[in-house]
């Protein structure tokens, strides 16, 4: 091991702790957040659902010490106010509950003479139903961590009980599976310490991915062997875990696997190694403990400094930092009684979870980087959450995000999904069954348990499977949930026709996100994807061989890889930019219709002056999509559709047909007329891992024009069964464009959209509306059956006023 010749631990910690620059910058209070910084929280005027809320502000300078005042709304420093000083983070999690009512807060910067320069006050309201969730504090948490080992996930006093359950109790089958896997790993070969990464792409990315593939499995085996020992007491497994610990923690923490150079093996080694060390501690010789701990301690401090230097509590928009924080938290719990700095780590990590985490979603439970990355990061998060609850008696699951985020999987990647848009890893089914089992046990959530059961997943063969095994909870399908849902914090809409029913569900996903195309997101604002009856009919195309591979960078991340709009032969939205954002302008859902509107104009970074897409779901399972687009000058416009198989095109009728084994889809283009259609099964850059081609269709304008609208109707159906689809016809009105859907049984739906530039009410047949999108459905004989108003307040049918009381509503009659 080379650490002795490179730097001592004390010297390394001193180097890492040094400030980055010279003299401190003058304090600037209340500055606007940068594009990668969290906003002030609670925001001025916010209503909070937990008490006390976590407080986050914009950091003033590295090394600054802060004060926080929380008090009555008109004067946070007045009677009844509370002041905390000596805060070293740009965030704070209070320990005292705030009563319902109006409050205010302000932060300040402490000077060397003890005076404080205060920010302006920001008011917020603690709602009457706000749930108490005070921060327990590091002293209380550390005091509950047992001094004996193990202390991660399983406490020392629980080992005998777990071994009994594994021997002849409810964990017998699960433990037997873990033992079989661990026996397979005994004596397995171990990879050499990797070399330094090359400086440039694509070799850097390819070699980075190869190191992940070769180092993760043997590190996984390290934890698995230790778990087998924890459950059985069999020394063979402890000795195997010990062999692997000695090997991996002989790698130089300042060498090729230093966190700052190649964080993947550094993170994975710590995740697996800290758990393994804790579980087999009694089988490790004292001199081995010293050598292993010396490296672990350096690597843990590297994690701590990476987080503090960002600083993560206010600048969390880096994907891997969202993993590091949980791994550091587990290391802190494992060594809180041995290493003085571990208390600081625990306080920092727990405070960040109470205030700032996660960066990629909000209280609605959505996730900005797609289901694949949601699954991975919730896996890491739940490990720390369970370890913290078991070891320190603190529960981060009280945060609204954690309670609601299983719904993200239910709506966007249900158990029967084929693909998983939108984000890296979207090209295949994501296995989330075990994760949802864990969520179901932690939250006592029957819908999450239904998900796991639908994927035929019970307790997994790992530590969370062991400690969260729970046969008492019965699954419940999501039939009582709304069929459609918006996740506004991440700009995502899911519209289902039969949520939870794989034989009948048709669903559309729609993204227009404030997170832009940053990190593992793509340039796909206002893009959609459709699945029906277990088939993917409109896909987010492209693969993820490795991050920034040529295919990934020049196809998968591009707008032309999504069901979106480009100009002039494929020019699209900004790539790898948090500024290339969209937003969901409106959402309404009901028994008859769903409506969503997305504005992706900023995503095109000046190429377009307007890019608004409105989608109306005519239940069950017909989607009307209307686009308003405008550019600074004449351009050609392309409307993209991606599929797994070749589509049939009838250019004369502007109709295409998608066919898969169990389902198909008819697409009719109603506007503009005279579109040119082209399709290919070739990528601009082929995937490096040799995956199969996909099909890419464009419907393009034949001449350049500065603005246009697209109106298309997408009608999924069972394979070979188009009899029940409606007859589609274009309808022109006064200031409105629409589509009439005439169903074979005599029902009729009229869906309309206000033309660009129109401000007054519009008319379409007998409908008058001030809405951007509207619909009216009638039963045979013309009897009113249902209606929709989107982004408007007035909707009349003849003399009948259908929309009293406000915008974005739907209504149905039996």
pLDDT digits (tens, 9 = 90+) for 175-222: 999 999 999 999 999 999 999 999 888 889 899 999 999 999 999 999
Find out whether 623 and 563 touch, Cβ atoms under 8 Å.
no
Mapping DSSP to helix (H, G, I), strand (E, B) and coil, where does residue 573 land? Answer: coil
User: What span, in angstroms and rounded, lies between the C-alpha atoms of 185 and 177?
Assistant: 13
pLDDT in tens, 233-266: 999 999 999 999 999 999 999 999 999 999 999 9
pLDDT in tens, 471-529: 999 999 999 999 999 999 999 999 999 999 999 999 999 999 999 999 999 999 999 99
Q: Within 13 Å of residue 607, how many CA atoms lie on the same side as its CB?
A: 19
Summarize the confidence of residues 75-93 as an average pLDDT: 90
Give the C-alpha distances (Å, rounded to integers) separating 789 from 596, 615, 743.
11, 12, 21
Find out whether 466 and 162 touch, Cβ atoms under 8 Å.
yes
Give the C-alpha distances (Å, rounded to integers) separating 687 from 198, 396, 542, 735.
21, 40, 8, 46
Q: Does the pLDDT of residue 269 top 90, yes or no?
A: yes
Superfamily of domain 150-357: Chondroitin AC/alginate lyase (1.50.10.100)
Q: Does the pLDDT of residue 442 top 90, yes or no?
A: yes
Q: Does the pLDDT of residue 18 top 50, yes or no?
A: no
Summarize the confidence of residues 103-118 as an average pLDDT: 94
Q: Does the pLDDT of residue 8 top 50, yes or no?
A: no
Phi/psi of residue 209, nearest 5 degrees? -65, -40
DSSP E strands in 59-165: the ranges are 66-72, 82-87, 91-92, 101-110, 116-118, 122-132
Helix ranges (DSSP H) in 280-423: 286-309, 321-335, 340-355, 371-392, 400-404, 406-412
Q: Does the pLDDT of residue 607 top 80, yes or no?
A: yes
CATH match for 484-722 among 2.170.120.12, 2.70.98.70, 3.90.600.10, 3.40.50.2300:
2.70.98.70
Summarize the confidence of residues 735-747 as an average pLDDT: 97
> For residue 674, with 0-12 CB atoms within 10 Å meaning exposed, 13-18 middle and 19 or more buried, which class applies?
exposed
Mapping DSSP to helix (H, G, I), strand (E, B) and coil, where does residue 388 land? Answer: helix
Summarize the confidence of residues 434-455 as an average pLDDT: 98
pLDDT at 795: 94
pLDDT band, residue 20 (cuts 50/70/90)? very low
What percentage of residues in the chain have a pLDDT greater than 70? 96
Q: Does the pLDDT of residue 19 top 50, yes or no?
A: no
pLDDT at 22: 41
Write the CATH number of the domain with boundaries 46-132: 2.60.40.10
Q: Does the pLDDT of residue 625 top 80, yes or no?
A: yes
Q: Does the pLDDT of residue 17 top 60, yes or no?
A: no
pTM, 2 dp: 0.94
Q: Does the pLDDT of residue 728 top 90, yes or no?
A: yes
Summarize the confidence of residues 78-95 as an average pLDDT: 93
Summarize the confidence of residues 45-54 as an average pLDDT: 96
pLDDT at 805: 65
Q: Does the pLDDT of residue 76 top 90, yes or no?
A: no
Summarize the confidence of residues 372-381 as an average pLDDT: 96
User: What span, in angstroms and rounded, lies between the C-alpha atoms of 504 and 497?
Assistant: 8
> For residue 288, with 0-12 CB atoms within 10 Å meaning exposed, 13-18 middle and 19 or more buried, which class applies?
middle
pLDDT at 567: 98
pLDDT at 26: 61
pLDDT band, residue 21 (cuts 50/70/90)? very low
Summarize the confidence of residues 341-364 as an average pLDDT: 96
Closest CA to 545 of 690, 368, 692: 690
Find out whether 663 and 532 touch, Cβ atoms under 8 Å.
yes
pLDDT at 78: 79
DSSP E strands in 568-704: the ranges are 583-589, 593-599, 610-618, 622-635, 637-643, 648-650, 655-659, 663-671, 676-680, 695-700
User: What span, in angstroms and rounded, lies between the C-alpha atoms of 197 and 255?
Assistant: 11
Q: What mean pLDDT is reported for the chain?
A: 94
pLDDT at 9: 41
Cis before 206? omega within 30: no
Summarize the confidence of residues 534-547 as an average pLDDT: 96
User: What span, in angstroms and rounded, lies between the C-alpha atoms of 152 and 67?
Assistant: 34
Give the length of the chain.
814
pLDDT at 16: 38
pLDDT at 808: 73
| Domain range summary for the chain, segments of one domain joined by + | 46-132, 150-357, 361-481, 484-722, 726-814
Summarize the confidence of residues 127-138 as an average pLDDT: 96
Q: Does the pLDDT of residue 110 top 50, yes or no?
A: yes
């Amino acid at each position: 091991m080379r650490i002795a010749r490179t730097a001592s631990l004390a010297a390394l910690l001193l180097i890492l702790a040094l400030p980055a620059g010279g003299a401190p910058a003058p304090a600037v209070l209340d500055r606007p957040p940068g594009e990668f910084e969290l906003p002030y929280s609670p925001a001025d005027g916010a209503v909070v659902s937990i008490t006390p809320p976590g407080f986050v502000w914009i950091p003033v300078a590295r090394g600054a010490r802060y004060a926080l005042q929380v008090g009555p709304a008109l004067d946070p420093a007045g009677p009844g106010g509370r002041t905390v000083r000596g805060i070293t983070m740009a965030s704070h999690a209070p320990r005292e509950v705030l009563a319902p009512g109006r409050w205010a807060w302000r932060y300040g910067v402490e000077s060397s003479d003890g005076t404080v320069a205060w920010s302006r006050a920001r008011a917020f309201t603690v709602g009457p139903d706000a749930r108490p969730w005070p921060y327990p504090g590091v002293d209380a948490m550390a005091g509950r961590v047992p001094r004996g080992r193990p202390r991660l996930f399983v406490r020392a006093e629980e080992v005998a009980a777990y071994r009994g359950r594994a021997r002849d109790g409810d964990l017998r089958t699960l433990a037997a599976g873990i033992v079989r896997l661990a026996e397979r790993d005994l004596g397995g070969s171990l990879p050499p310490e990797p070399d330094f990464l090359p400086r440039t792409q694509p070799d850097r990315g390819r070699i980075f991915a190869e190191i992940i593939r070769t180092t993760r499995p043997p590190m996984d085996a390290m934890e698995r062997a230790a778990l087998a020992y924890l459950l059985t007491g069999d020394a063979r497994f402890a000795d195997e875990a010990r062999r692997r610990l000695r090997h991996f923690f002989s790698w130089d923490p300042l060498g090729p696997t230093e966190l700052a150079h190649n964080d993947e093996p550094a993170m994975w080694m710590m995740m697996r190694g800290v758990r393994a060390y804790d579980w087999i501690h009694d089988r490790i010789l004292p001199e081995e403990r010293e050598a292993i701990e010396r490296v672990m301690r350096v690597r843990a401090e590297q994690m701590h400094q990476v987080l503090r230097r960002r600083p993560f509590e206010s600048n969390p928009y880096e994907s891997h930092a969202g993993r590091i924080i949980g791994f550091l938290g587990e290391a802190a719990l494992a060594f809180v009684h041995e290493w003085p700095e571990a208390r600081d780590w625990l306080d920092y990590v727990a405070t960040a979870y109470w205030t700032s985490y996660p960066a990629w979603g909000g209280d609605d439970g959505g996730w900005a980087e797609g289901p694949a990355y949601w699954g991975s990061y919730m896996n890491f998060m739940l490990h720390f959450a369970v370890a913290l609850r078991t070891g320190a008696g603190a529960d981060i699951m009280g945060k609204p995000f954690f309670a609601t985020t299983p719904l993200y999987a239910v709506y966007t990647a249900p158990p029967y999904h084929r693909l998983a848009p939108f984000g890296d890893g979207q090209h295949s089914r994501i296995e989330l069954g075990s994760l949802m089992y864990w969520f179901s046990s932690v939250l006592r959530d029957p819908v999450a348990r239904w998900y796991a059961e639908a994927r035929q997943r019970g307790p997994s063969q790992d530590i969370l499977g062991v400690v969260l095994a729970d046969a008492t909870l019965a699954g419940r399908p999501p039939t009582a949930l709304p069929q459609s849902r918006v996740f506004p914090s991440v700009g995502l809409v899911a519209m289902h026709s039969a949520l939870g029913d794989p034989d009948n569900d048709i669903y559309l996903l729609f993204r227009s996100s404030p997170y832009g195309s940053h990190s593992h997101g793509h340039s796909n604002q206002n893009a959609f994807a459709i699945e029906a009856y277990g088939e993917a009919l409109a896909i987010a195309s492209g693969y993820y061989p490795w991050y920034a591979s040529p295919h990934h960078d020049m196809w998968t991340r591009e707008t032309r890889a999504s069901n979106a709009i480009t100009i002039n032969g494929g020019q699209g939205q900004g790539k790898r930019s948090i500024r290339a954002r969209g937003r969901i302008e409106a959402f309404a859902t009901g028994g008859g219709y769903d409506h969503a509107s997305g504005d992706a104009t900023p995503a095109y970074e000046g190429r377009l002056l307007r890019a608004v897409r409105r989608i109306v779901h005519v239940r069950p399972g017909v989607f009307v999509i209307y686009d308003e687009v405008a550019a600074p000058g004449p351009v050609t416009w392309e409307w993209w559709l991606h599929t797994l198989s070749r589509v049939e095109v009838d250019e004369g009728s502007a109709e295409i047909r998608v066919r898969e084994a169990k389902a198909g889809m008819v697409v009719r283009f109603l506007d503009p007329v005279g579109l040119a259609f082209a399709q290919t099964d070739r990528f601009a850059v082929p995937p490096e891992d040799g995956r199969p081609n996909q099909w890419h269709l464009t419907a393009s304008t034949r001449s350049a024009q500065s603005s246009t609208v697209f109106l298309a109707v997408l009608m999924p159906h069972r394979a070979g069964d188009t009899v029940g689809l409606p007859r589609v016809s274009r309808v022109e009105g006064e200031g409105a464009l629409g589509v009439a859907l005439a169903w074979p049984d005599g029902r009729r739906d009229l869906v309309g959209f206000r033309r660009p530039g129109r401000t007054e009410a519009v008319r379409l047949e007998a409908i008058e509306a001030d809405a951007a999108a509207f619909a009216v459905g009638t039963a045979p004989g013309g009897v009113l059956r249902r209606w929709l108003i989107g982004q408007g307040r007035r909707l009349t049918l003849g003399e009948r006023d259908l929309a009293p009381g406000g915008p974005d509503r739907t209504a149905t009659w039996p």
